[in-house]
């Protein structure tokens, strides 16, 4: 344990302390760990980016549904078609969900 000088009042306080014992000012800890939770470094997509990605996600979803409709009929390769359809629907739905969450998040700011 080392003593550091408080940036506010200059009092020597433990570097393990998160606040100054003298004035209560928050201290920069030597651990390097930020006590304030930080958002992920990659910035969330802007509304324009969401608007650009949304049609793609919807297209993937619609393609999956169309393929599922085709696979419903006794056609050649129906098994593969239904597999791809399921894949497209899952991918499209989760993509759409992510975009909706981002859109909801950007609305709050
Ligand atoms: Zn202080």
Tens of pLDDT, residue by residue over 36-64, are 555 566 677 788 887 888 889 999 999 99
The pTM of the full predicted model, rounded to 2 decimals, is 0.49
Looking at residue 107, what is its pLDDT? 62
Place of tokens 């597999």: 83
Q: How much distance in Å is there from the Cα of 6 to the middle of ligand 1?
A: 5
Tens-digit pLDDT profile for residues 24-33: 888 865 444 5
Looking at residue 92, what is its pLDDT? 94
What letters, b where the CB count within 10 A reaches 16 and e where it falls short, cover 36-67? Answer: eeeeeeeeebeeeebeebeeebeebbebbeeb
- 22 or 33: whose pLDDT is higher? 22
Backbone angles phi, psi at 12, to 5 degrees: -80, 120
Q: How much distance in Å is there from the Cα of 4 to the middle of ligand 1?
A: 10
Half-sphere exposure of 35 (CA within 13 A, CB side): 10
> Distance between CA atoms of 61 and 85, rounded to whole angstroms?
9
């Amino acid at each position: 344990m080392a003593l550091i000088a408080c940036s506010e009042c200059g009092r020597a306080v433990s570097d393990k302390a998160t606040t100054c014992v003298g004035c209560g000012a928050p201290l920069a800890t030597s651990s390097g760990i930020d006590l304030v939770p930080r958002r992920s470094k990659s910035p969330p997509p802007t509304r324009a980016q969401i608007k650009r990605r949304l049609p793609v996600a919807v297209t993937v979803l619609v393609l999956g549904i169309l393929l599922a409709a085709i696979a419903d009929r006794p056609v050649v390769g129906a098994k593969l078609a239904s597999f791809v359809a399921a894949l497209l629907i899952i991918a499209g739905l989760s993509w759409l969900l992510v975009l909706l969450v981002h859109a909801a998040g950007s609305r709050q700011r």
